[in-house]
Amino acid sequence: MNPEPLVSELVESDPDLADIVEEFVAGLGQRVRRMCTAVEKADYDDLRTAAHQLKGSAGGYGYPALTTVAAKLETEAARKSLEQCRATLAEIESLVRRVVVRR
């Protein structure tokens, strides 16, 4: 069973914004790689910063589920909880695989 796609609420309300949302989606892989590297290095400052940036931008582009998990990662990075950071990053990766832009 495939999980349901994660669609942008922004595009659902204004299809004319699909192009800019696609640019955001295209950059998600790079964001996730940055966070993975930060976890591997236990670089909590960079991880917290990257999670904070994702939290804000995901919400702005209409992906509140991604915002919620990014906020959780930001908090865990501030607490320097490596195992929790790994688990939450896995949640983010799972969500990112489901992200789509419907026109």
Q: What is the tens place of the pLDDT at every residue in 1-22?
A: 668 999 999 999 999 999 999 9
Region 50-77 average pLDDT: 98
Query: Domain 6-100, what fold?
Result: Four Helix Bundle (Hemerythrin (Met), subunit A) (1.20.120)
Distance CA 6, CA 71 (A): 18
Kindly report the number of other CB atoms within 10 A of residue 30's CB atom: 9
